[in-house]
Amino acid sequence: MNDDIIEGASNSEDEDEQESVEGMDEGELNAISPAKKFVLDKADRSLSELFRWYKSGRIVIDPEWQRNYVWDTTRASKLIESFLLDIPVPVIYLAKNDQGKYEVIDGLQRLTSVFNFFDNQYKLHRLDLLDNYRGKTFAKLPKEVQNKLEDSILRSFELSDSSGDIHFIVFERLNTGGVKLNDMEIRNCLYRGSLNALIKDLSKNDNFIKAVSQKTFHKRMQDRALVLRFLAFYERTHLKCTLGLKRFLNEFLATYQDCPDSKLQEYRKVFEKCMKASLTVFGETAFRLKSDIAKPGKYSSGEWSTRPNAAIFQVISTSFAKYDLGQVAQRADSIYEGYIDLINSDATWVDRVRRATGESTRLKYTFERWLERLDDIMGATQAQDVRRAFSRQLKKEMFDAEPTCKLCGNRISLIDDAVMDHDARYWLGGQTVPDNANLAHRICNLKKG
Ligand SMILES: [Zn+2]
Residue 187's pLDDT band, with cuts at 50, 70 and 90, is confident
Ion ligand 1: residue ranges with CB closer than 5 A? 405, 407-408, 441, 444
Output the CA 287–ligand 1 centroid distance in Å. Answer: 27
Output the CA 411–ligand 1 centroid distance in Å. Answer: 7
**Tens-place pLDDT, residues 293-315:** 655 555 566 678 889 999 999 99
Output the CA 352–ligand 1 centroid distance in Å. Answer: 28
Residue 265's pLDDT band, with cuts at 50, 70 and 90, is very high
Output the CA 342–ligand 1 centroid distance in Å. Answer: 19
Output the CA 406–ligand 1 centroid distance in Å. Answer: 7
Output the CA 286–ligand 1 centroid distance in Å. Answer: 27
Output the CA 62–ligand 1 centroid distance in Å. Answer: 57
- The DSSP line for 391-412 is SHHHHHHHHHH--B-TTT-PBP
Output the CA 440–ligand 1 centroid distance in Å. Answer: 5
**Tens-place pLDDT, residues 5-60:** 223 233 333 333 456 788 888 887 765 555 555 677 889 999 999 999 999 999 98
Output the CA 445–ligand 1 centroid distance in Å. Answer: 7
**Tens-place pLDDT, residues 109-148:** 899 999 999 999 999 998 888 989 999 999 999 999 999 9
Distance CA 413, CA 436 (A): 22
Output the CA 311–ligand 1 centroid distance in Å. Answer: 31
Output the CA 443–ligand 1 centroid distance in Å. Answer: 7
Supply the pLDDT for residue 401.
86
User: Pick the residue with more confidence: 437 or 328?
Assistant: 328
Most confident range, picked from 7-11, 207-211, 231-235:
231-235
- Give yes or no for a contact between 137 and 29, defined as CB atoms under 8 angstroms apart: no
Distance CA 439, CA 312 (A): 28
- Give yes or no for a contact between 218 and 200, defined as CB atoms under 8 angstroms apart: no
- Give yes or no for a contact between 102 and 92, defined as CB atoms under 8 angstroms apart: no
The yes-or-no verdict on residue 274 having pLDDT over 80 is yes
User: Exposed, middle or buried: residue 104 (CB in 10 Å: 0-12, 13-18, 19+)?
Assistant: buried
φ, ψ for residue 368, nearest 5 deg: -65, -45
Supply the pLDDT for residue 3.
37
Output the CA 409–ligand 1 centroid distance in Å. Answer: 6
Average pLDDT, the chain: 82
Residue 256 CB contacts under 8 Å (≥ 6 apart), including other chains: 195, 231, 235, 263
Residue 384's pLDDT band, with cuts at 50, 70 and 90, is very low
Output the CA 412–ligand 1 centroid distance in Å. Answer: 7
Supply the pLDDT for residue 213.
86
Output the CA 439–ligand 1 centroid distance in Å. Answer: 9
Tell whether the torsion through CA atoms of 209, 211, 212 and 216 is positive or negative.
Answer: positive
Output the CA 208–ligand 1 centroid distance in Å. Answer: 36
Supply the pLDDT for residue 276.
94
Output the CA 407–ligand 1 centroid distance in Å. Answer: 5
The yes-or-no verdict on residue 321 having pLDDT over 90 is yes
pLDDT mean over 258-266 = 95
Distance CA 357, CA 229 (A): 12
Residue 95's pLDDT band, with cuts at 50, 70 and 90, is confident
**Tens-place pLDDT, residues 428-447:** 554 444 566 788 887 777 77
The yes-or-no verdict on residue 425 having pLDDT over 80 is no
Share of the chain above pLDDT 90, in %: 46
Tell whether the torsion through CA atoms of 261, 263, 264 and 269 is positive or negative.
Answer: positive
Share of the chain above pLDDT 70, in %: 80
The yes-or-no verdict on residue 372 having pLDDT over 80 is yes
Output the CA 351–ligand 1 centroid distance in Å. Answer: 26
- Give yes or no for a contact between 56 and 161, defined as CB atoms under 8 angstroms apart: no
Residue 436 CB contacts under 8 Å (≥ 6 apart), including other chains: 422
Supply the pLDDT for residue 107.
86
Nearest to 230 by CA among 174, 275, 179, 286: 275
